[in-house]
Chain A
Amino acid sequence: MYPRSFEYVSPGSLDEATSVLASTEGAKVLAGGMSLLPLMKLRLFSPDVLVDIGRIPGLSSIEDRGDHLAIGAMVSHAATASDSSIAEHAAALATAASWTGDVQVRNQGTTCGSIAHADIAADQPSAALALGATMVAASAGGVREIAASDFFVDTLTTALGPGEILTEVRIPKQGGASAYEKLGRRGGHTDYAVAGAAVWLDVSDGAVSSARVALTGVGAKPTLAEGVAEALIGTDGSDAAIAEASERALEGVTVLDDLFGTVEYKAHLAKVMTRRALQQAVAAAT
Chain B
Amino acid sequence: MGGGFGVSTTSVLGGVVKRREDPALIRGTGLYVDDLQLPGMLHVAFVRSPYAHARVVSVDASDAEAMDGVRAVYTAADVAHLGDLVTQVAVGKLRPLLAGDKVNHLGEAVAMVVADSRYGARDAADAVDVEYDPLDPVIDLKEAASDAALVHEDMESNVLLAWEGGPWGDEEAIAATQQTIADAKGRDDTVSVSIEAVNQRLLPMPMEPRSVVADWNVGYGRFTVHSSTQIAHALAGGIAQTFGLSLTDVRCIAPEVGGGFGCKLNVYNDEILVCFASQQLGRPVKFTETRRDAAGSTIHGRGWVATATITGTADGQILGYELDGIADMGAYSQNFTVAIPFLGLFVGAGQYTFPTHWKVACVHTHTMTTDAYRGAGRPEAAYYLERAIDAFAREIGVDPAEVRRKNFIPADSFPGAATHIGFPMDTGDYETNLDALLETAGYEDLKAERDRLRAEGRLVGLGLATYVEVCGFGPSALVDLGFSWAAYKIPSGFSGSGLVRVQADGTASVIIGTGPTGQGHQTTWAQIVSNQLGIPVENIRVSHGDTAESPLGIGTFGSRSAAVDGSATYEAANKVRAKAADLAAHLLEASADDIVFADGGAHVAGSPDQQVSWSDIATLAYQPHRLPEGMEGGLEAHAVFSPGNATWPFGSHLALVEVDGDTGDVKLLRYIAMDDCGNVINPMIVDGQIHGGLAQGIGQAMFEDGDYEADGNLLKWSFVEYPLPTSADLPSFELHRTVTPTDINPLGVKGIGEAGTIGSAQTVVNAVVDALSPLGVTHVDMPLRPKRVWAAIQAAKTNGSVS
Which A residues lie at the B interface, using CB under 8 A?
1-5, 38, 42-43, 102, 183, 185-188, 190-192, 194, 259-262, 265, 268-269, 272
Residue of B nearest to A121 (CB): B720
Comparing B16-24, B47-55, B681-689, B784-792, the segment that makes contact with chain A is B784-792
Give the distance in Å from the alpha carbon of A42 to the alpha carbon of B122 in the complex. Answer: 11
The answer to whether A269 and B663 touch (CB under 8 A), given A1-B291, A259-B721, is yes
> B667 and A265: CB pair below 8 A?
no
The answer to whether A102 and B123 touch (CB under 8 A), given A187-B667, A262-B791, is no
Residue of A nearest to B790 (CB): A265
> B787 and A265: CB pair below 8 A?
yes
Answer yes or no: B803 CB below 8 A from chain A CBs.
no
Give the distance in Å from the alpha carbon of A265 to the alpha carbon of B718 in the complex. Answer: 24
> B665 and A2: CB pair below 8 A?
no
Answer yes or no: B408 CB below 8 A from chain A CBs.
no
Answer yes or no: B726 CB below 8 A from chain A CBs.
yes
What are the residues of chain B within 8 A of A1 when measuring CB–CB? 290-292
What are the residues of chain A within 8 A of B243 when measuring CB–CB? none
What are the residues of chain B within 8 A of A192 when measuring CB–CB? 720
Answer yes or no: B703 CB below 8 A from chain A CBs.
yes
Residue of A nearest to B785 (CB): A260
> B665 and A42: CB pair below 8 A?
no
> B717 and A185: CB pair below 8 A?
no
What are the residues of chain B within 8 A of A5 when measuring CB–CB? 119, 123
B260-304 Cβ-contact flags toward A at 8 Å (1 or 0) = 000000000000000000000000000000111000000000000
The answer to whether A190 and B791 touch (CB under 8 A), given A2-B118, A4-B123, is no
> B703 and A186: CB pair below 8 A?
yes
> B122 and A194: CB pair below 8 A?
no
Give the distance in Å from the alpha carbon of A185 to the alpha carbon of B181 in the complex. Answer: 43
B89-122 Cβ-contact flags toward A at 8 Å (1 or 0) = 0000000000000000000000000000011001
Residue of B nearest to A3 (CB): B119
23 residue pairs bridging A and B, Cβ less than 8 Å apart? A1-B292, A2-B119, A4-B123, A5-B119, A5-B123, A38-B718, A38-B720, A102-B726, A183-B786, A186-B725, A187-B666, A187-B667, A187-B785, A188-B665, A188-B667, A190-B726, A190-B728, A190-B729, A192-B720, A194-B787, A259-B705, A261-B787, A272-B662
B659-680 Cβ-contact flags toward A at 8 Å (1 or 0) = 0001111110000000000000
Residue of B nearest to A183 (CB): B663
What are the residues of chain B within 8 A of A42 when measuring CB–CB? 292, 717-718
Give the distance in Å from the alpha carbon of A98 to the alpha carbon of B728 in the complex. Answer: 14
> A186 and B663: CB pair below 8 A?
no
Residue of A nearest to B791 (CB): A265
Counted as pairs of residues, one from A and one from B, with CB atoms less than 8 Å apart, the total is 64
Residue of B nearest to A191 (CB): B723
What are the residues of chain B within 8 A of A265 when measuring CB–CB? 664, 786-787, 790-791
Give the distance in Å from the alpha carbon of A42 to the alpha carbon of B721 in the complex. Answer: 13
Answer yes or no: B743 CB below 8 A from chain A CBs.
no
> B786 and A194: CB pair below 8 A?
yes
- A265 CB to nearest chain B CB (Å): 5
What are the residues of chain A within 8 A of B119 when measuring CB–CB? 2-3, 5
B: interface residue count bin: 20 to 34
Residue of B nearest to A262 (CB): B787
What are the residues of chain A within 8 A of B723 when measuring CB–CB? 185-186, 191
- A242 CB to nearest chain B CB (Å): 14
Give the distance in Å from the alpha carbon of A4 to the alpha carbon of B292 in the complex. Answer: 16
Give the distance in Å from the alpha carbon of A190 to the alpha carbon of B666 in the complex. Answer: 12
Give the distance in Å from the alpha carbon of A186 to the alpha carbon of B717 in the complex. Answer: 17
Give the distance in Å from the alpha carbon of A186 to the alpha carbon of B292 in the complex. Answer: 21
Give the distance in Å from the alpha carbon of A3 to the alpha carbon of B292 in the complex. Answer: 13
What are the residues of chain B within 8 A of A185 when measuring CB–CB? 723, 785
What are the residues of chain A within 8 A of B663 when measuring CB–CB? 183, 269, 272
- B467 CB to nearest chain A CB (Å): 25
Given contacts A186-B723, A194-B787, 18 further A-B contacts (CB under 8 A): A2-B119, A3-B119, A42-B292, A42-B717, A42-B718, A43-B122, A43-B126, A102-B726, A183-B663, A186-B729, A187-B667, A187-B729, A259-B705, A259-B715, A265-B790, A265-B791, A268-B790, A272-B662
- B491 CB to nearest chain A CB (Å): 40
What are the residues of chain A within 8 A of B347 when measuring CB–CB? none
What are the residues of chain A within 8 A of B664 when measuring CB–CB? 265
What are the residues of chain B within 8 A of A38 when measuring CB–CB? 718, 720
Pick the contact of B786: A4, A43, A187 (CB < 8 A): A187
Answer yes or no: B702 CB below 8 A from chain A CBs.
yes
Q: Chain B CB within 10 Å — which of A3, A185, A262 has the most?
A: A185
Give the distance in Å from the alpha carbon of A268 to the alpha carbon of B790 in the complex. Answer: 10
Give the distance in Å from the alpha carbon of A209 to the alpha carbon of B634 in the complex. Answer: 91
> B122 and A2: CB pair below 8 A?
yes
Give the distance in Å from the alpha carbon of A1 to the alpha carbon of B785 in the complex. Answer: 28
Give the distance in Å from the alpha carbon of A135 to the alpha carbon of B581 in the complex. Answer: 81
Give the distance in Å from the alpha carbon of A188 to the alpha carbon of B705 in the complex. Answer: 18
Residue of B nearest to A192 (CB): B720
Give the distance in Å from the alpha carbon of A265 to the alpha carbon of B717 in the complex. Answer: 24
What are the residues of chain B within 8 A of A188 when measuring CB–CB? 665, 667, 729
Residue of A nearest to B724 (CB): A186
What are the residues of chain B within 8 A of A194 when measuring CB–CB? 786-787
